[in-house]
Amino acid sequence: DIGFRLGPCINASGRLDTAMRSLSLLQCEDEEEAAKLANDLKALNDSRKALTEQGTEAAYKLIEGSNLKNDRVMVVFLPDCHESLAGIIAGRIREKYNKPCFVLTKTATEVKGSGRSIEEYDMYKELSRIKELFTKFGGHKLAAGLSLPLENVDILREKLNQLTTLTDDDLCSKVWIDMQLPIPYITKEFVNELEKLKPFGKGNEKPCFAEKNLKVKNLKILGKEGNVIKLSLRDENNYEIPGIIFSRTSEFMEFVTNKFGNEEVKKALRGMDNNITIMAVFYPNINEYNGNTQLQLVINRFS
């Protein structure tokens, strides 16, 4: 809740307006005033999410409608995008195409940007090789920020792709799983045992499981922005479990439509018998809603 609900709302004020709005809430001692400030931050974060989705879709459209998708290092110029959202959008593009990506935006005086990388590409090291293009830059292996004159945008893209040594193997998406996990093994006791391994992060990565031949009994698109997919999954022995996918709706729908066809997707959306079967990479959790608890798979990769 802190990481995915409260944190983004507090963070949104600094991204889109001023961090003083969040500070005012944290210092507020009047309950009614605090509620008003909190609702304002919630609205601001909703705006931030909508702008992020718009920027991401604009980036995908630009990439697919040009030869950018053939570049090994992507430089996407979105002049009208809010500069504070560039890093989030770059991360989305990196996930979709498995390539290092810079998203650039235009300010009143220059161009600013943020980059997100893959393990095989040291972003800061590569920027350091062409530092004469920037008014300033900084970062580390997997992320960077930069500022540069408008006339250097095309040169940046050209130079990064000329100098890169990335191979086809480097750009192949890799997922390291801890084990193949049959879904009947997933119980509330098992999930509670996994919880004891927290906190997850660098040096203590969250366990990653996978299972294949999972039949999609039905699927639903949920959320105000249509950015959540709820699945009912069944294994080869007819054992069922719910699955959920966050923020990858268009990618999943494109995948199942291309692989199984429109008619099969329509059947799944109606809860009818269909031929859609997937391999899922997931982490199991316990979903709590209206006092009820239910096991589910939080799916982050599929094929």
298: phi then psi, degrees, rounded to nearest 5: -90, 105
Question: How far apart (Å, rounded) are the C-alpha atoms in residues 136 and 34?
Answer: 39
What pLDDT, on the 0 to 100 scale, is given for residue 289? 81
Characterise 290 by phi-psi region: left (phi > 0), alpha (psi -120 to 50), beta (else).
Answer: left
The residue length of the chain stands at 303
What pLDDT, on the 0 to 100 scale, is given for residue 224? 78
Question: How far apart (Å, rounded) are the C-alpha atoms in residues 240 and 271?
Answer: 14
Rounded to the nearest 5 percent, the helix, strand and coil shares of the chain are: 45, 25, 30
Residues of the chain with pLDDT under 70: none
293: phi then psi, degrees, rounded to nearest 5: -120, 145
pLDDT in tens, 259-270: 999 999 999 999
Strand partners, 243: 231, 297
Token pair belonging to 291: 């006092």
Strand partners, 228: 222, 246
Question: How far apart (Å, rounded) are the C-alpha atoms in residues 155 and 271?
Answer: 51
pLDDT in tens, 192-237: 999 999 988 878 989 999 999 999 999 999 987 788 999 999 999 9
